[in-house]
Structure 1
Amino acid sequence: MANDPLFILIALVMLGVVGVLLFGISSFARGGAFSRKWSNKAMQWRIGAQFVAVVLILLFTYLRSKG
């Protein structure tokens, strides 16, 4: 399974979600003008990345269940 290109893509997208999440949390922690500028936008990016990850996981599950 680890050699499957779709699985590798899913892993990379999930790492991207974690990266965006950490950026969003750090922007909340910094506060001030930086937080006002980036916190909401980072969380919107996270939601989009999570959506892509979930769709890819569902696609992977569907394709692999067909045999």
Structure 2
Amino acid sequence: MQTILIILIVLAALATVGALVRGIVIFLRTTEQDLKGVGPSVSGLRQNKMMRLRIMFQALAVIFVILLLLLSRSG
């Protein structure tokens, strides 16, 4: 069970990094025209989506670490 949790932690961490890098790339591709538009831009919406995904993946990684610590403590 601990091996599975370790694999899940690594996968969640990699997904976190992937979402972070993708969000940064979207941010760097934001044009001046995107910033001058009325209302939320497509770029801004994509950045927010990547931020939400990053936070979700980080939360999953933390939960998996807590479960791993609880298992190692009881076993």
2:63 aligned with 1:55, yes or no? yes
Higher relative contact order (CA 8 A, sep 6+): 2
Give the percent of matched residue pairs that are identical in Structure 1 and Structure 2. 38
TM-score (norm 1): 0.85
The separation in 1 between residues aligned to 2:44 and 2:19, in whole angstroms, is 16
TM-score by length of structure 2 reads 0.77
Aligned residues: 65
* Distance in structure 2 (CA, Å) of the matches to 1:60 and 1:24: 29
- Say which one has the larger Rg: 2
- TM-superposed CA distance for 1:5, in Å, is 1.5
Q: Which ranges in structure 1 are unaligned for 5 or more consecutive residues? A: none
Unaligned runs of 5+ in 2: 35-40
Query: Are the aligned partners of 1:10 and 1:57 in contact in 2 as well (CA < 8 Å)?
Result: yes
Give the CA RMSD over aligned residues: 1.6
Correspondence for 1:20: 19
Query: Does the Cα contact within 8 Å between 2:8 and 2:61 map onto a contact in 1?
Result: no
